[in-house]
């Protein structure tokens, strides 16, 4: 029974193979993992798992096509698979066929002529095309292909599939494509449109090389929403980059670029465009670059300098109670951060004393962690100074001495008095240009804290711009404060923009990185070779993108929104450019123009009536090259007396421009076409998009 004969011995491996097969069947394969639970093939669709698919095949193409003519199909906003199969054909076979076809068509036309019938225009057109193709094939200018195009729509249910099919058909007919559903062949259609390279439908149409080439979907990403403001022009396809930052998960934005790359220019453009849609804009402007823009838009320009009229008390409380939040505790934390910058290096002992002193300073004014007490008048820096002096030990006396410059020294005027200023104007710009360099970060932090306190008081759509953010990012404490704002801004309908030229410094701190990851919009302008590696590592840039950033011109760069990014160029209308440029040459030209207008105005009524300036028509100043004046001439001739700005500032801004130049700038802003220009594609006709 157990004896094996020769024959049996030869067949020994068989049971072994079966065993192996069984074993292998029990192993998890890729097919097991990716296979759908079920497939149901219907007449008009196929269901794979819980998704429904419907395949269309193209039966007719337009007579003429232009490059990238399939782009609307590629950009169709419904998930779909598109597959194309191109089969090269030998020209001699095709030529025989065409010759036969041509003869047929000529015979048809001849017959119609003999019967005295009107010639069928479709046959005439087809004959014309066939003769042209015949000639090109014979000369070897073109080659011949067979081309099949399948489109498979996918949807979650049949209703959605029906709806998507309707939209697809409308789209296809708009680009003159005739398509039909692959009824009863949905499985073959589905397989033809997944990346297997198998044309199981095989429904090709004839095409020559040129037509086939123009069918290739060269497309690039577009970043356009149907609302928002225009950021620039997509450098690849010339489309507009329109974005509503408030619609993203947070409205924050960072702008990185080397000095002179066009950061402030881009931000100013954005400010103008947001402002027109009623967003309240607050700017911290350390370099004093936003003044002409502010005056032109009727905004309030608040300058901080020793002896300026505007006062801000860093001890202000928002007076707003939020569930689970200790307002006083938060304020003391932020004062702590501020004082660490003011006082320089302090150790743990100093820190503890400072904390006690701050609590005591508020307590002396009757303010405690009870929200009801927090509407009382807040203490001043001087009160803290006195408390520290009163503590009568070496450490606190040392702290008091270091604080002295705020009470008696150069900063005493601005930050040691009760606030006499409120943000009322829809555009408020705080300039710290008048302060010494070392004091600027302190002032910026105080202003930022003041703004943050105000912003939390009432909910409004706001944009807060922090230009030259590196002033704050170089101190850990102020960087952490900016990060805190970036994190919480969304809850207060606030969008924070931070711009910096010091990318290395910004990104070398954890706070900088955190601000970046809390910003849905990121704009990279021209980078310096020393910083490009860091930037490309953080933004995962490709080599081409690195090159683009190194070689880009002023105002050019990459625009990131969420996961997508495009190459962008910021463009301004001529009247916008006049208001926002910081080119010294252009500024000098502009000052000269203002001087001439001023001079002319002084001969008119403007001197006697400074409150309601009447501007003489500047077109009287003859300068044929002067396009600005041409822009001015029109609105001024129709609106000779200009309106005052919408809201009078609480505190008169320093160095107010002369009445005439004020009106001059208002005139620029009051051009009737201003609000519509940035968002109207046709308004950009004078801008040459890169195609």
Which residues here bind ligand ATP, judged by CB under 6 A? Answer: 257, 259-265, 501, 554-555, 570, 581-583
Minimum separation from the CB atom of position 504 to ligand ATP (A) = 14
Binding flag, residue 264, Mg ion (CB under 5 A): yes
Q: What is the DSSP string of 200-236?
A: SS---EEEEHHHHHHHS-------B-SSSEEEEEETT
- Per partner kind, with CB cut-offs from 5 to 8 A, the member of ligand ATP, Mg ion, none near residue 69 is none
Structural contact between residues 414 and 313, judged by C-beta atoms closer than 8 angstroms: no
**Closest separation between CB of residue 63 and ligand ATP, Å?**
42
Answer with the entry of Mg ion, ligand ATP, none that 274 interacts with (C-beta below 5 to 8 A by kind): none
Please choose which of Mg ion, ligand ATP, none residue 243 contacts, taking the beta carbon within 5 to 8 angstroms, the exact cut-off set by kind. none
- Number of shown-chain residues binding Mg ion (CB under 5 A): 1
- Quickly tell me which residue has 């200790």 as its tokens: 326
Nearest Cα residue to 213 out of 133, 132, 143: 143
Q: Could you tell me which stretch among 86-94, 144-152, 260-268, 346-354 binds Mg ion (CB under 5 A)?
A: 260-268
36 or 553: CB nearest ligand ATP: 553
292 vs 425, which CB is nearer to ligand ATP? 292
Q: Among Mg ion, ligand ATP, none, what does residue 262 contact (CB within 5–8 Å per kind)? A: ligand ATP
Among ligand ATP, Mg ion, none, the one that 334 touches (CB under a kind-dependent 5 to 8 A) is none
Measured from the CB atom, is 547 or 583 closer to ligand ATP?
583
Are 44 and 165 in contact by the 8 Å Cβ rule? The answer is no
Q: Closer to ligand ATP by CB, 70 or 261: give it.
A: 261
Q: How far is the CB of 582 from ligand ATP (least distance, A)?
A: 4
Q: With CB cut-offs between 5 and 8 Å by kind, which of Mg ion, ligand ATP, none does residue 261 bind?
A: ligand ATP
**Contact (Cβ atoms closer than 8 angstroms) between residue 443 and residue 449:** no
Alpha carbons 78 and 81: distance in angstroms, whole number: 10
Pick left, alpha or beta for residue 319 (phi over 0 → left; psi -120 to 50 → alpha; otherwise beta).
Answer: left
Listing DSSP states for 341-401 in one string gives: HHH-S--HHHHHHHHHHHHHHHHHTT--SSGGGGGSPP--HHHHHHHHHHT-SHHHHHHHH
User: Residue with the closest Cβ to ligand ATP?
Assistant: 555
Please, which residue, 58 or 499, has the CB nearer to Mg ion?
Answer: 499
CB burial string 482-496: b at 16+ within 10 A, e below:
bbbbbebbbebbbbb
Smallest separation, CB 473 to ligand ATP (Å)? 14
* CB-nearer residue toward ligand ATP: 328 or 628: 628
Specify the residue, 522 or 581, whose C-beta has the smaller distance to ligand ATP: 581
- List Cβ neighbours of 653 (8 Å cut-off, separation of 6 or more): 300, 301, 302, 303
What CA–CA distance (Å, rounded) separates 329 from 342?
A: 20
Closer by beta carbon to Mg ion, 268 or else 350 = 268
Report in angstroms how near the CB of residue 674 gets to ligand ATP at its nearest.
Answer: 18
Stretch that binds Mg ion, among 116-124, 158-166, 175-183, 264-272 (CB under 5 A): 264-272
- Find the part of the chain contacting Mg ion (CB under 5 A) among 2-10, 259-267, 422-430, 604-612: 259-267
630 CB contacts (<8 Å, ≥6 apart)?
Answer: 619
Q: Which one, 470 or 560, has the nearer CB to ligand ATP?
A: 470
Q: Are 515 and 486 in contact (CB under 8 A)?
A: yes
**The token pair that represents 180 in the structure block:** 């039909």
Residue 578 CB, shortest distance to ligand ATP, in Å, is: 10
Give me the residue whose beta carbon is nearest to Mg ion: 264
Q: How far apart are the first and last CA of the chain?
A: 86
Measured N-to-C along each axis, helices 584-603 and 627-638 cross at an angle, to the nearest 10 degrees, of 40
Query: Which residues contact Mg ion by CB under 5 A?
Result: 264
């Amino acid at each position: 029974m157990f004896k094996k004969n020769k024959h049996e011995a030869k067949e020994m491996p068989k049971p072994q193979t079966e065993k192996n097969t069984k074993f292998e069947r029990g192993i998890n394969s890729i097919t097991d993992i990716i296979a759908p639970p079920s497939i149901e093939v219907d007449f008009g669709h196929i269901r794979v798992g819980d998704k429904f698919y419907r395949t269309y095949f193209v039966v007719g193409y337009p007579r003429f096509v232009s490059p990238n003519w399939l782009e609307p199909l590629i950009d169709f906003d419904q998930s779909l698979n598109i597959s194309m199969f191109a089969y090269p054909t030998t020209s001699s076979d095709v030529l025989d066929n065409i010759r036969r076809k041509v003869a047929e068509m000529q015979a048809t036309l001849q017959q119609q002529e003999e019967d005295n019938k009107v010639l069928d225009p479709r046959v005439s057109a087809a004959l014309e095309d066939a003769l042209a193709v015949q000639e090109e094939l014979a000369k070897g200018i073109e080659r011949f292909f067979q081309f099949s195009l399948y489109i498979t729509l996918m949807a979650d249910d049949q209703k959605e599939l029906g709806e998507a099919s309707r939209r697809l058909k409308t789209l296809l007919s708009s680009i003159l494509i005739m398509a039909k559903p692959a009824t009863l062949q949905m499985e073959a259609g589905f397989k033809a449109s997944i990346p297997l390279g198998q044309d199981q439908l095989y429904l090709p149409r004839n095409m020559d090389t040129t037509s086939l080439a123009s069918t290739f979907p060269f497309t690039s990403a577009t970043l356009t929403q149907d609302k928002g403001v225009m950021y620039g022009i997509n450098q690849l396809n010339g489309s507009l980059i329109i974005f509503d930052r408030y619609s993203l998960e947070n409205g924050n934005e960072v702008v990185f670029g080397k000095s002179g790359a066009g950061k402030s220019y881009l931000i100013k453009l954005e400010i103008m465009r947001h402002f027109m849609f009623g967003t309240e804009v607050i700017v911290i402007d350390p370099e004093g670059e936003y003044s002409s823009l502010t005056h032109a838009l009727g905004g309030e320009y608040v300058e901080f300098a020793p002896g300026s009229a505007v006062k801000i008390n860093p001890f202000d409380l928002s007076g707003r109670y939020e569930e689970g939040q200790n307002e006083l505790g938060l304020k003391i934390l932020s004062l702590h951060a501020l004082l660490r910058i003011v006082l320089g290096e302090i150790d743990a002992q100093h820190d503890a004393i400072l904390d006690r002193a701050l609590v005591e300073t508020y307590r002396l004014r009757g303010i405690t962690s009870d929200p009801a007490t927090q509407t009382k008048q807040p203490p001043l820096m001087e009160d803290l100074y006195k408390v520290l002096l009163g503590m009568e030990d070496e450490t606190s006396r040392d702290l008091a001495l270091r604080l002295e410059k705020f009470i008696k020294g150069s900063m005493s005027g601005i930050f040691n008095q009760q606030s006499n200023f409120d943000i009322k104007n829809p555009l408020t710009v705080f300039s710290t240009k008048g302060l010494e360099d070392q004091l600027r970060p302190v002032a910026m932090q105080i202003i930022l804290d003041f703004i943050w306190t105000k912003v939390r008081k009432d909910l409004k759509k706001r944009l807060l711009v922090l230009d030259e953010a590196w002033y704050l990012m170089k101190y850990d404490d102020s960087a952490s404060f900016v990060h805190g704002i970036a994190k919480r801004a969304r809850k207060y309908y606030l969008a924070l923009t931070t711009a910096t030229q010091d990318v290395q410094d910004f990104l070398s701190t954890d706070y900088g990185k955190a601000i970046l990851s809390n910003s849905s919009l990121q704009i990279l302008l021209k980078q310096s070779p020393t910083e490009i590696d860091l930037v490309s590592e953080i933004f995962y840039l490709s080599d081409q993108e690195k090159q683009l950033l190194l070689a880009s011109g002023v105002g050019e760069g990459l625009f990131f929104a969420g996961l997508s990014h495009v190459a962008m160029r910021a463009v301004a209308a001529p009247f916008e450019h006049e208001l926002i440029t910081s080119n010294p040459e252009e500024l000098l030209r502009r000052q000269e123009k203002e001087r001439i207008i001023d001079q002319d105005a002084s001969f008119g009524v403007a001197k006697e009536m400074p409150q309601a300036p009447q501007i003489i028509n500047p077109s009287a100043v003859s300068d044929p090259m002067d396009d600005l004046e041409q822009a001015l001439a029109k609105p001024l001739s129709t609106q000779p007396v200009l309106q005052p700005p919408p809201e009078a500032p609480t505190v008169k801004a320093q160095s107010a421009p002369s009445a005439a130049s004020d009106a001059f700038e208002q005139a620029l802003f009051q051009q009737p076409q201003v609000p519509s220009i940035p968002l109207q594609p046709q308004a950009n006709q004078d801008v040459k998009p890169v195609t």
